[in-house]
Structure 1
Amino acid sequence: MTITPAQRSAIEEIIDIIKNTKSPKKKRNLTDLFLELVDKDTWANYYQVIPEPRCLNGVSRSLQDGSYNEPLEAYEDLSLVFLNALYYNEPASQIHKDAETLKSTFENEWKLRTVLPMPTRTSPPPTSAQKVHGQVANHQPPPETPITSAPPAALVAPAKSASQQAPTPIGTSSTSAVDSPAPQQLSTSNQQPSSPPRMSSPDMDVDVGGTPEPEGIGVDDMARDGESDLVVQQLERGLPRWENLGDFGWMKEKDGSEDRWLELVLAIKGHKDAVGNRYATALEAMPEETNIPYLSFNFPLSLKLVESHARAKSYGSNKAFDKEIAQLFEKARRWHEPGSDAYGHVLLLQRLYQALTSPSPPSGPPYISPTNFASLRAGPGTARPLHSSSDSEKLPAVTTFRVSSKDRTFVDEVTYRGWSIKLAEWLHLSNPDDPSKPIIAQVFKCYVSDEPTRKGQPGVTACWYYRPEQTFHPAQRQFWENEVFKTSHFADHPVEDIIEKIACQFTARHIRGRPRPPSWYLGWPLYVCDSRYNDRERIFVKIKNWNSCVPEEVRKSADFMPIYPFERMVFPRRFGSPFLKGSRIRGPGGIGESADKAEGERIEGGGTGRKRSRKPVAPTDISGPSKGLYVGVGPANVPGTTPQPAAYPPQPAGAQPRTEDKSIITAAGGATVLGSNASMEKLPAETARHFDRDPETNEVLWFAAPPLNIARTPAPKYSLQYLHWLATKRKEVDDDSMDVSEERLKRARVSVTPTATETVERLLVVDDLL
């Protein structure tokens, strides 16, 4: 029996009706989350549980291709679309409820069309998960796996309100079109999968940095509180871990390599500074055991072990030796405090090792380099870009104002020491001035050199970002924790300059979440950028359009550094100038005025950006430890404070104000109208931190009425059927008396993923041990 044109038309009509089914309030399409299959790479566990995954668009394509021999085959596939979701998700979840509604709609519409044959059975098809794994009517899970609670918030994204997009239907839709959690997948290495991609953060700036402090907000009010730290920790507990360095970019095999291993180890171990101090003491100070969080390996490793293996020639290849040296430096970078002398010694030794294994190694021993073995002769704060061909200096410029295309062939990526470097990624690069402060840079081009002296050697053209200690700034300026500043310096670096991959977020995303892999993993350095820095005029320009700061190829790309969202905005900590009394940070910058002594921080925008007044707000007015936030009241209206000059020059008649005054005082008619009837009280800092802040002004938001009582969609939960399937698989794997037939052994090798509850328990045990 074949499908007739009339039957095909009827089935297509049913599918169209299903696709247009909306929620009772008609605010969302129920089938948006059932159109495509779940991504196999992200949710591999789903395909172990569901024997026959199906989706609406897949059924439509099969119908158009003539893959069905009879209408009941299409009926069975459409049923599986919803039966799979009903099996995998808990009955209380929104996904389960949507699947029930759509299944009922589908069955009713099918019955209404007389040209379609009625199904001969009412039970699920034999290929459904319900039949393959068996229905679980009254199964009770073991005590350690309570089914009444959802996966912890640390492992899932926060639920959205009913007026927003519904949660991801686990096992029913493509992860490329959803915005909420899917089932957790944990491998034997305790890695957790990426959650489905979310829409990128808005292309906007958050006025949370700069000098002076935002009006009405003191340093203590902006400080990170314990609850903010918990929000960050809650998210980071469920983030994927970095697996390891890749299998590319390592030393090539050569004759006599076994003897070379020991020479390289001894060169690292014996390298000294000008007065005879060995740098390798920073490596020898580390313990042999590997108990540092977020490393890519978990076996014991030390310089002494590497030396003993090199002497015994126990490495199987150059790659094995090279990779273990890279892991040794990775461990040392995580062990020592960034910016410390020991940290700088580690990075200098890493750069020495990379120079010794390069096509053009330095002469020695002893190995001497005025640039700490870096390829450039000057770093951030001391390098001067090439302005024109008539520069007085005869030496070639260290940096330029644009990406050069001379004597090179651009490529999509370069590989080095297990790193795959691509366009728009951030790196730590060797700093010739101070190894303890590696250059923070974003890759704008990857290339292979065509120069005669470096023919065929890879490199990157990167835009530098300055640290606070590499800038000249007013003494009262505040800096975010790990804040950096984009510059106009572009430099060409050979791959030997690469220390490691890092990440940098602009403020609007940094306060909302953390980058997704592969842009960033836990343990990698993470920076935040809010402004540009002009080192010639010594001014800061707040970035309004981040797209102007990244390579053109990734601008407006929804895939560029998406984030895992916090449950609420979390601001980084703030610190004063690193050059203030008591700070030990050194750098080429300092405390000073701008070049014309009349310009402070500017707001980027066209060519008519306004200039901030250089006159600072007195810190004692708003930043004392006992000061609270005055709701809707600026510093000029706070009792006991001195009115401050306007942050911007007077505007001409008819000009629009910079921001609308929405304070309570203004709404009530102004202080003049209120007179002595006005009574103002401070909002304590411990109370203020519970309220959201305006993304433009960073002021506490206040409302004249409580929020609407809108029901929030619950997060997906594991179903009884899924938990029963897990328990059954574990029993089969652990049962020593099982049948040893080939099919049984094949089933025993199936990796059973722990539940979210078990995962959290393991994490808590690890936290207690640490």
Structure 2
Amino acid sequence: MTISSAQKTAIEDVVDALKNATSPKKKRGLSELFLELVDKGTWANYYEVIPQPRCLNGVLRSLQAGSYKEPLEAYEDLSLVFLNALYYNEPTSQIYKDAETLKTTLENEWKLRTVLPVSTRTSPPPTSAQKVHGQLANQQQKTETQVAPPPPVALAVPVKSVGHQAPTQNGTPSAPAVDSPPPPQASTSNQPSSPPRMSSPDMDVDVGGTPEPESMGVDDMARDGESDLVVQQLDRGLPRWEGLGDAGWMKEKEGSEDRWLELVLAIKGHKDTVGNRYATAIEAMPEETNIPYLSFNFPLSLKLVESRARAKTYASNKAFDKEVAQLFEKARRWHEPGSDAYGHVLLLQRLYQALTSPSPPSGPPYVSSTNFASLRAGPGSARPLHTSSDSEKLPAVTTFRVSSKDRTFVDEVTYRGWSVKLADWLHLSNPDDPSKPIIAQVFKCYVSEEPARKGQPGVTACWYYRPEQTFHPAQRQFWENEVFKTSHFADHPVEDIIEGIACQFTARHIRGRPRPPSWYLGWPLYVCDSRYNDRERIFVKIKNWNSCVPEEVRKSADFMPIYPFERMVFPRRFGSPFLKGSRIRGPGGIGESIDRAEGERIEGGGTGRKRTRKAGAPTDISGPSKGLYVGVGPASVPGATPQAVVYPSQPASVQLRTEDRSIVTAAGGAAVLGNNANMEKLSAETARHFDRDPETNEVLWFAAPPLNIARKPAPRHSLQYLHWLATKRKAIEEDRNGAEGMSVDTNEERVKRTRSRAVNTTATERVDRFLMESSQD
């Protein structure tokens, strides 16, 4: 029979009821994941497992086009929408639970409309995955034809993130597929082959207004083995990075083939101040490409690049330039971030980018006080331009706002295969420590109009500090890979760009991973939970994340969407990096700080901190908590030479409560020194060569180098002498205890009694007695 107009309206009402269904507690829409089909090009395996994919909007379109001959055909397709999800997802996933709820809603809503015929089917349709895979399993094992439907395999449909349109057949998929073994309870006789899986969280995430981790309960924040499996499950199916793009490479110039070998030899031969080559960090890598998440899979080494440069076998400057960039990519993934070898790789990359820039450094040998970075100081030691004074003698390189002077803003800049746009995250070269590249978010892309850099591209970026670049109490804990937003903005030329990264605010980080092109597996990923005021040493927990990103993307639905976890997964917590035995390097230190939430009113009735003196005023050098703080930092050029980088202090009204062990105090104080002492504040250039105490932040001063001499052994006594000495002390103690209970004893009597109990007289007593007897004679 055909579908009447009344039946068609009733079916449309059923579909509307399914679309409007919400969860009872959180008022979350349940049907968003079932509106459209999964992208067939990206998720072909989904269509291998599900024989008849269906979606709500697809059923509605078929109904309106008159494709159904009777109402029960529409009912069967609506049932398949949820039966497919029940088969494709494991029972513990949120989408499985949503599918169960909507399937029940479908049955109830269908029965409420009397114009619709009631289905008498009690089992899934013959075209469902439950029946199809069950029949295939029976045929393989030659068993009876009727079997119970197999348990759901460990798979989930791709899921959309907040602000994104539902996945369409020609659109971007919402979640990856991950290989996963079948559930333990599944029978091997009827279990089909299992394609990848991922499922949705219970709550979507927006940039602002999300719950804070502290309000979610301590138990929810525990990181266990199951959480690691959830992360690994998602990671295994995430899209892989396709590699560097085609723009921003070396331009073709006549005779540039000879320049290839010069650049390779410059990298290979660069040395530190004592003659150690940095290229050993690159040469230590294997030639084979067995490193996960690389954008290429062919053998590559510095030796191969050198041989090809000598033979001039590269087709163009771009081919040579791209292979060198891939070599640095491989080296960055091979070495542990933060290690000396990792710092050597980043320094050599920055040297190569400086040599291929419009204004290369002079040399060889190539020498730079900033590790070839464009700025004079990095996070923790740089100061804003308008707050620095001549008396402080501190590098002024940042600002508190985005400047528009002498530049033309553009939508994007390209550099060595990277396409950098507004709100992208980058690793930038750190002049203080190459092994700790600057973590920054792009707020503007520009082309310089300055005469010295006319037409050269750059970015204005907001810096984020690492824990070791902050001053914090010893008991403070940090999320894994946590960073802190600051108010420091700096202009960087594109030569400072090391690589693309990602940084998530906590509300999203605990729920999933960024989608491409914001992030790919293998890229560094950080998490931010608070702001950090480095001048006042205040940590402010961020509640309004919209205020932390560029204004142009605050309301954008495309800003860093996520592939969601099955459930919230909190990162691990670690203690202060300065408490580790490895003596983490950085310009920060252990000290007092203030933690508060945004908008919290504290001393003085305002939301800021009451100041006891003018910000940035010079401080007294007489105390260890004042003046210049020396960080246990890397050498100005990291290598085998053990040097220390000194970072200026953060002027603050909170003083560290530590013992005063300064040189002035050790000498007796300023009053004792009088006019004989000439005290001057150390400049950053001078203090760079000194070390500090990681516990107290004090500069470590020594009058002379440490002496390597043998210690004089302590005297040894015989057992007889020690026994005699113990007996004597015991007698004295007994006499003292007895004398406390006898008030009639005089001091003379106690002395006589003590001497009478002595086991033997001393040599002095015998000499005195002899002299007394001699004088009487």
Same fold (TM over 0.5): yes
Q: 1:287-345: CA deviations, max 9, x gaps?
A: 21222222222222111111112222222232222222111111111222222221111
- Determine if the alignment matches structure 1 residue 278 to structure 2 residue 277: yes
After the TM superposition, which residues 585-600 of structure 1 pair with which residues of structure 2 at under 5 Å, given as runs? 585-593=584-592, 600=594
Matched, 1:14 2:11: yes
Q: Map 1:154-233; keep pairs closer than 5 Å.
A: 199-200=204-205, 203-207=210-214, 226=225, 228-233=227-232
After TM superposition, give the deviation of residue 372 of structure 1 in Å.
1.2
Where in structure 2 are the equivalents of 1:24-39 lying within 5 Å? 34-39=34-39
Is the Cα–Cα contact under 8 Å of residues 381 and 470 in structure 1 kept in the other structure?
yes
Deviation, 1:46, is 5.2
The one-letter amino acid paired with 1:360 is S
In structure 2, the partner of 1:464 is 463
1:202-239 CA distance string (max 9 Å, x none) = 52433499xxxx9x99xxx9995555544543443343
Distance 1:488 1:194, change over 3 A: farther
Alignment deviations for residues 175-224 of structure 1 (CA, whole Å, 9 cap, x no partner): 88x8x887989xxxxx9898779721552433499xxxx9x99xxx9995
Residues in 2 aligned to 1:32 and 1:223: alpha-carbon distance in whole angstroms = 30
Counterpart selection for 2:596 from 602, 605, 613: 602
Which whole-Å CA distance do the structure 1 matches of 2:253 and 2:179 have between them? Answer: 45
Matched-pair contact (CA < 8 Å) for 1:86–1:99: no
Q: 1:150 to 1:357 in 2, by over 3 A?
A: farther
- CA distance in structure 2 between the partners assigned to 1:545 and 1:280 by the alignment: 45
Distance 2:398 2:343 in 1: 23
| Equivalent in the alignment of 2:709 | none
Q: What TM-score do you get using the length of structure 2 for normalisation?
A: 0.60
Matches within 5 A, 1:139-538: 139-140=136-137, 148=150, 150-152=152-154, 199-200=204-205, 203-207=210-214, 226=225, 228-387=227-386, 397-538=396-537
After superposition, the C-alpha distances for 1:130-167 in whole angstroms (9 at most, x for unaligned) are 69xx9777322769xx99454447x7799xxxxxx9xx
What amino acid maps onto 1:203 in structure 2?
T
Give SS of 1:401's match: coil
Cα gap change, 1:91 to 1:588, in 2 (>3 Å):
closer
Aligned partner of residue 20 in structure 1, secondary structure = helix
Change (3 A) 1:171 1:139: farther
- 2:754 match: none
**1:505 corresponds to which letter in structure 2?**
Q
2:575 maps to: 575
Secondary structure, in 3 states, of the residue corresponding to 2:492? strand
Q: Deviations over 1:237-296 (max 9, x none)?
A: 343333322233222333333322222111111112233221111111112122222222
State the distance in 2 between where 1:365 and 1:19 align: 73
Q: Is the 8 A contact 1:444 1:551 kept in 2?
A: yes
From the CA coordinates, give the structure whose radius of gyration is larger: 2
Question: Which deviations, in whole Å up to 9, do the C-alpha atoms of 1:74-103 show, x marking residues without a partner?
Answer: 998997676687679749986987998899
Q: Percent sequence identity over matched residues?
A: 69
Change (3 A) 1:26 1:264: closer
Contact 2:243–2:296 (8 Å) recurs in 1: yes
Aligned AA (1:420):
S
Equivalents in 2 of 1:76, 1:223: separation in Å?
48
Amino acid in structure 2 at the alignment position of 1:371: T
Whether the 8 Å contact between 1:401 and 1:489 is mirrored in structure 2 is yes
Distance 1:102-1:467 versus aligned 2 partners, 3 A rule: closer
Report the CA distance shift for 1:147/1:450 in structure 2 as closer, same or farther (over 3 A).
farther
**Quick check: 293-302 or 98-107, which moved more?**
98-107
**Partner SS state of residue 213, structure 2:** coil
- Cα distance in 1 for partners of 2:368, 2:22 equals 71
Aligned-pair CA distance for 1:356: 1.6
Tell me the distance in 2 between the aligned counterparts of 1:337 and 1:366.
Answer: 28
Measure the CA separation in 1 of the matches of 2:362 and 2:428. Answer: 22
- How far has the Cα of 1:462 moved from its partner? 0.8
1:609-758 alignment runs, 5 A limit: 609=607
The question of whether the paired residues in 2 share the 8 Å contact of 1:18 and 1:31 is answered with: no
Give distance in 1, aligned partners of 2:472 and 2:114: 75
CA gap of 1:501–1:170, structure 2 versus 1, over 3 A, is closer
Q: Which amino acid aligns with 1:589?
A: G
Contact 1:204 1:546 in 2 (8 A): no
Aligned length: 565
**8 Å Cα contact 2:426/2:500 also seen in 1:** yes
Contact map agreement 1:18 1:102 (CA 8 A) in 2? no
Q: For residues 228 and 61 of structure 1, do their structure 2 counterparts lie closer, same or farther at Cα, with a shift above 3 Å needed?
A: closer
Residue 601 of structure 1 aligns to which amino acid in structure 2? Answer: D
Counterpart-to-counterpart distance in 1, 2:257 and 2:108: 71
Q: Which residue of the partner structure matches residue 665 of structure 1?
A: none
Cα 1:574–1:20 change in 2 (3 A) is: same
Q: Which amino acid aligns with 1:517?
A: P
Q: 1:22-71: CA deviations, max 9, x gaps?
A: 9999969986655434335543555788899775545766887xx76x98
Q: Is the 8 A contact 1:253 1:317 kept in 2?
A: yes
- Which letter maps to 1:524? W
- Does the 8 Å CA contact 1:37/1:174 hold for their aligned counterparts? no
Q: In 2 relative to 1, CA 51–452 (structure 1 residues): closer, same or farther, beyond 3 Å?
A: farther
CA distance in 1 between partners of 2:367 and 2:553 (Å): 41
Residue 11 to residue 34, structure 1, CA distance change in 2 (3 Å): farther
1:709-752 Cα deviation digits (max 9, x unpaired): xxxxxxxxxxxxxxxxxxxxxxxxxxxxxxxxxxxxxxxxxxxx
Secondary structure of the residue that 1:358 maps to in structure 2?
Answer: coil
Q: SS state of the match for residue 328, structure 1?
A: helix
Letter in structure 2 aligned against 1:200? V
SS at match of 1:601: strand
Cross-structure match for 2:135: 138
Indicate conservation of the 8 Å contact 1:409/1:450, yes or no.
yes
Mapped partners of 1:424, 1:108: distance in 2? 51
Tell me if structure 1 keeps the 8 A contact 2:35–2:55.
yes
Structure 2 equivalent of residue 544 of structure 1? 543
Instruction: Give the corresponding residue for 1:682.
Output: none
Return the letter of the residue paired with 1:605.
G
- Aligned AA for 1:319? K
Alpha-carbon distance change, 377 to 82 in structure 1, aligned in 2, over 3 angstroms: same
How many Å separate the matches in 2 of 1:394 and 1:471?
Answer: 21
CA distance in 1, matches of 2:528, 2:80: 48
2:732 counterpart residue number = none
Q: How far apart are 1:573 and its partner, in Å?
A: 2.9
Q: Is the 8 A contact 2:376 2:395 kept in 1?
A: no
Change (3 A) 1:611 1:481: farther
| Structure 2: gaps (5+ residues) | 142-147, 181-194, 611-777
Letter in 2 for 1:20: A
- Structure 2 contact 427–440 (Cα < 8 Å) conserved: yes
The alpha-carbon distance between structure 1 residues 549 and 583, as it changes in their structure 2 partners (threshold 3 A), is same
CA distance in 1 between counterparts of 2:21 and 2:435 reads: 60
Closer/same/farther in 2, CA of residues 73 and 37 from structure 1, 3 Å limit: farther
